[in-house]
């Protein structure tokens, strides 16, 4: 009679837990705004201030390029060559064509660097958006999982209170169920706050910080597709880091910075050459038939230490850019190897949970309920079995999240 009463209580517990799971979930769905990942990426690329800043920097460099032909300002003079009267004149200094050509090359290199930096910003915004979307997916999946656990354990706690009042369970069983139920409730509260924070984070990236955003795909259901896509990617990656990172926007920006610094050296060397001076002034007496005459001259760069210092500075700048490129390659290679190792590690873990862990957790839940109803296991064993199954399922969610994070980082480093 005792086990019959407990089996009846457990049956009512499962029905109550299902109703509790459906009720809050529907209300939350009505209050949220679903969004797809591709839509989130498009909105972040359109609204993120980092990309607007990159566009303005490109405009700045293009404007500087248009002004790369920049001769010195003319000198308007008043002189009295004969001592009888003052007469106006003008003198213009013009560099050799090679100087202006080098200035244009430097300006073009600046435009190219700004464009490379825009690609870095674009890749960074996409990575941040994908990670924020993934974190929201994970938070939603955790809330769903813990909502079910919380509903189940709250119903079990109510059933245990009734059974304890009837003298059919011990005080230890009552305390253990209450402790489990309260622990799951606290975890659910934490997961709910994490979900709000993830919504806020994604909303800030999309320019919609006050909306309660929701993802369009359940993270748990993406496991099989993720395992297939990750396996295909791992099979297509080149063995060498240099080949894998050839499309990295960060590396391309560092290479362009080297090109800009080298063009700066060429410009300094071009400026060490003489310049032409043209003038048009009054150089005659007042009764002379031709008063104004042209004059020609050469501007000689005799202050050699100035040009030598500028060349040393430009050379040092170029060498620093070269070392920065080497450092960038080293750091990207290290990050790539770490992301590749994480991808392989979580790929193996996901394979285990897909093939073994999750099916076993479902079997544990169904068999523990069946064995308890048949009176073959105790109430505490039922609780322990459910906790073990829920731990497996929560770890499965964490593995999916970590695997996706590794793939996002790997694709970011590869320029994908």
Radius of gyration of the chain measured on its C-alpha atoms = 37
Span of 110-114, 195-199, 346-350 with lowest mean pLDDT:
346-350
Residue 16 has a pLDDT of 44
Q: What does the block give as tokens for 153?
A: 């354990």
Residue 55 has a pLDDT of 94
Q: What does the block give as tokens for 207?
A: 């320019």
Tell me how far apart the alpha carbons of residues 30 and 119 are, in angstroms, rounded to a whole number: 38
Tens-place pLDDT, residues 321-372: 999 999 999 999 999 999 888 988 898 888 888 889 989 988 988 888 788 7
Residue 287 has a pLDDT of 65
Q: Please, which pLDDT band fits residue 3 given cuts at 50, 70 and 90?
A: very low
Tell me how far apart the alpha carbons of residues 95 and 301 are, in angstroms, rounded to a whole number: 11
Query: For the chain, how many structural domains are there in total?
Result: 1
Percent with pLDDT over 70 in the chain: 88
Average pLDDT over residues 271-285: 77
Q: Is 100 in contact with 68 (CB distance < 8 Å)?
A: yes
Q: How far is CA 62 from CA 59, 99, 111, 125, in A?
A: 5, 19, 6, 24
Tens-place pLDDT, residues 224-275: 888 888 888 887 887 677 788 888 999 999 999 999 999 999 988 888 888 8
Residue 170 has a pLDDT of 77
Residue 368 has a pLDDT of 83
Q: Is 53 in contact with 32 (CB distance < 8 Å)?
A: no
| pLDDT of 380 higher than 70 | yes
Q: What is the CATH number of the domain that holds 56?
A: 1.20.1600.10
Average pLDDT over residues 47-55: 93
Nearest to 397 by CA among 341, 349, 360, 355: 349
| pLDDT of 402 higher than 90 | yes
> Which single residue is written with the structure tokens 């500087």?
64
Residue 286 has a pLDDT of 63
- Which residues lie closer than 8 Å to 305 by C-beta, 6 or more apart? none
Residue 291 has a pLDDT of 67
Q: Is 241 in contact with 337 (CB distance < 8 Å)?
A: yes
Q: φ and ψ at 89, to 5 degrees?
A: -160, 175
Q: Please, which pLDDT band fits residue 289 given cuts at 50, 70 and 90?
A: low
3-state secondary structure of 232: helix
3 or 234, higher pLDDT: 234
Tens-place pLDDT, residues 299-309: 878 877 888 89
Q: φ and ψ at 288, to 5 degrees?
A: -75, 145
pTM here is: 0.83
Residue 160 has a pLDDT of 80
| pLDDT of 29 higher than 60 | no
Q: Please, which pLDDT band fits residue 17 given cuts at 50, 70 and 90?
A: very low
Residue 189 has a pLDDT of 92
Q: What does the block give as tokens for 45?
A: 């690329």
Residue 370 has a pLDDT of 83
Tens-place pLDDT, residues 40-50: 999 999 999 99
12 or 178, higher pLDDT: 178
| pLDDT of 5 higher than 70 | no
- Which residues lie closer than 8 Å to 57 by C-beta, 6 or more apart? 114, 117, 118
Q: 359-374: string of b/e by CB count within 10 Å (b at 16+)?
A: eebeebbeebbeebbe
Pairing label, strands 275-282, 292-299: antiparallel
Average pLDDT over residues 197-212: 90
Residue 84 has a pLDDT of 66
| pLDDT of 4 higher than 80 | no
Q: Is 187 in contact with 146 (CB distance < 8 Å)?
A: yes
Residue 326 has a pLDDT of 94
- Which residues lie closer than 8 Å to 6 by C-beta, 6 or more apart? 163, 168, 169, 372, 379
Residue 85 has a pLDDT of 67
Q: Is 105 in contact with 24 (CB distance < 8 Å)?
A: no
Domain containing 276 equals: 2-414
Average pLDDT over residues 148-154: 86
Span of 68-77, 104-113, 322-331, 360-369 with lowest mean pLDDT:
68-77
């Amino acid at each position: 009679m005792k086990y019959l009463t407990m089996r009846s209580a457990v049956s009512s517990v499962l029905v109550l837990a299902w109703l509790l799971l459906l009720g809050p979930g529907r209300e939350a769905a009505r209050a949220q705004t679903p969004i797809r990942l591709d839509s989130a990426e498009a909105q972040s690329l359109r609204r993120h201030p980092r990309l607007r800043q990159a566009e303005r920097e490109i405009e700045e460099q293009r404007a500087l390029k248009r002004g790369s032909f920049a001769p010195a300002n003319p000198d308007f003079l008043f002189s009295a060559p004969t001592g009888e009267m003052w007469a106006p004149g003008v003198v213009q200094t013009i560099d050799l064509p090679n100087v202006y050509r080098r200035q244009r090359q430097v300006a073009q290199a600046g435009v190219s660097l700004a464009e490379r930096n825009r690609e870095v910003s674009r890749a960074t915004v996409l990575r941040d958006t994908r990670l924020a979307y993934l974190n929201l997916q994970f938070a939603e999946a955790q809330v769903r999982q813990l909502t079910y656990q919380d509903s189940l354990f709250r119903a079990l706690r109510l059933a245990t209170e009734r059974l304890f009042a009837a003298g059919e369970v011990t005080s230890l069983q009552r305390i253990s169920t209450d402790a489990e139920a309260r622990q799951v409730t606290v975890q659910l509260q934490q997961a709910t706050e994490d979900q709000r924070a993830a919504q806020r984070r994604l909303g800030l990236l999309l320019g919609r910080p006050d909306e309660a955003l929701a993802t369009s795909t359940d993270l748990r259901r993406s496991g099989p597709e993720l395992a297939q896509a990750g396996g295909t990617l791992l099979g297509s990656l080149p063995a060498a880091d240099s080949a894998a990172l050839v499309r990295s926007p960060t590396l391309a920006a560092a290479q362009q910075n080297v090109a800009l610094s080298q063009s700066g050296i060429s410009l300094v060397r071009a400026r060490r050459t003489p310049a032409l001076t043209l003038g048009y002034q009054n150089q005659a007496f007042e009764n002379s038939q031709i008063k104004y005459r042209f004059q020609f001259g050469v501007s000689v760069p005799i202050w050699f230490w100035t040009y030598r210092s500028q060349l040393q500075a430009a050379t040092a700048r170029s060498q620093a850019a070269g070392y920065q490129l080497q450092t960038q390659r080293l750091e990207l290679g290290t990050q790539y190897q770490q992301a590749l190792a994480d991808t392989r590690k979580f790929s193996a873990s996901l394979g285990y949970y897909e093939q073994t862990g999750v099916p076993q957790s479902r079997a544990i839940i169904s068999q523990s309920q069946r064995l308890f109803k048949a009176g073959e296991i105790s109430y505490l064993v039922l609780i322990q079995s459910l906790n073990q199954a829920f731990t497996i399922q929560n770890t499965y969610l964490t593995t999916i999240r970590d695997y996706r994070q590794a793939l996002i980082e790997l694709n970011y480093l590869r320029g994908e």
